[in-house]
Structure 1
Amino acid sequence: MGEVKQIESVEDCASFLEHNSLAVIDFYADWCGPCKMIAPKVKELALANASVKFGKVNVDDAEEVAQKYEVSAMPTFILFKDGKKFDTIVGANEAKLREGVEKLLK
């Protein structure tokens, strides 16, 4: 519970979305300062919202996943409901991310 799952490939991502009806995927890079700043907040959100599953994709290690979802800036959070893209939040904006998770739960 509250774990943020590392997603390594397109197949891994498909499986993650197939098994989790409410999901948030954090597209990040190790060299990205804002990504590092928001990472603890993402973990907090994962702990506080057990019904939403959180995943993360290192865009440098899993370029094909980032390309599939047309991610061009980091961090980018894509919210999914029943495997379909529900919302996209670009940037390390904790308030917007919290708001997105709340909308996802409604």
Structure 2
Amino acid sequence: MGLCFSKVPADEDEPENHPQFAGGNVTLITTKNAWDQKLSEAKTQGKVVIANFSATWCGPCKSIASYYIELSEKYPSLMFLTIDVDELTDFSTQMDVKATPTFFFFRDGKQIDKLVGANKPELQKKITTMVDSQAPTAHK
């Protein structure tokens, strides 16, 4: 399982690095206000939110980014967000992100689960659990 704990020297603040983290149904969150809006929107729509706290310099983050985008397309009933820990440093600290990537799962604005590391099988398992718990009476 891959984890990044510290930042590589800060020459890489290139905005073109971001497209690898957003795509499909993934929304890149760049402000605390955008985060609050998306969480509120998800609550109104009854959607579970998966928030990926990543960094452009983090190898494991890059390696799981395309898989995360695939999952966002496979599970449109969930809301997929990506937060760059370097753009929202204070917020990432507030969320107690100690390593990247860290995935948080929210329902009704409250954290219900967390996964640290680029562990594809475990991420898939947690997402499947969220989907199953989201619609107990509806079967796909």
TM-score after normalising by structure 1: 0.94
Residue in structure 1 matching 2:107, options 64, 73, 81: 81
Partner secondary structure for residue 65 of structure 2 = helix
The alignment partner of 1:64 has SS state of helix
Partner of 2:39: 17
Which has a greater percent of strand?
1
Query: Hey, what's the Cα distance between the residues in 2 that align with 1:95 and 1:27?
Result: 18
| Corresponding residue for residue 26 of structure 2 | 4
What residue number does 1:57 align with?
Answer: 83
- Partner Cα separation in structure 2 for residue 44 and residue 65 of structure 1: 26
For structure 2, list consecutive stretches of 5 or more residues without a partner in the other structure. Answer: 1-22, 134-140
- Give 1:9 shift: 2.0
What is the Cα-based RMSD across aligned positions, in Å? 1.3
Aligned mates of 2:115, 2:55 — CA distance in 1: 16
| Corresponding residue for residue 61 of structure 2 | 35
Aligned residues with identical type, % of pairs:
33
4+ residue stretches of structure 1 with deviation over 2 A? Answer: none
Deviation at 1:8, TM superposition (A): 1.2
Which structure has the bigger radius of gyration? 2
Equivalent residue for 1:91, pick from 96, 99, 117: 117
- Give the distance between the partners of 2:93 and 2:40, measured in 1 at CA: 19
- 1:88 shift after superposition: 0.4
Question: Does the 8 A contact of 2:25 with 2:76 survive in 1?
Answer: no
Structure 1 segments unaligned to the other structure (5+ residues): none
Structure 1 contact 2–48 (Cα < 8 Å) conserved: no
Corresponding letter in the other structure for 1:60: D
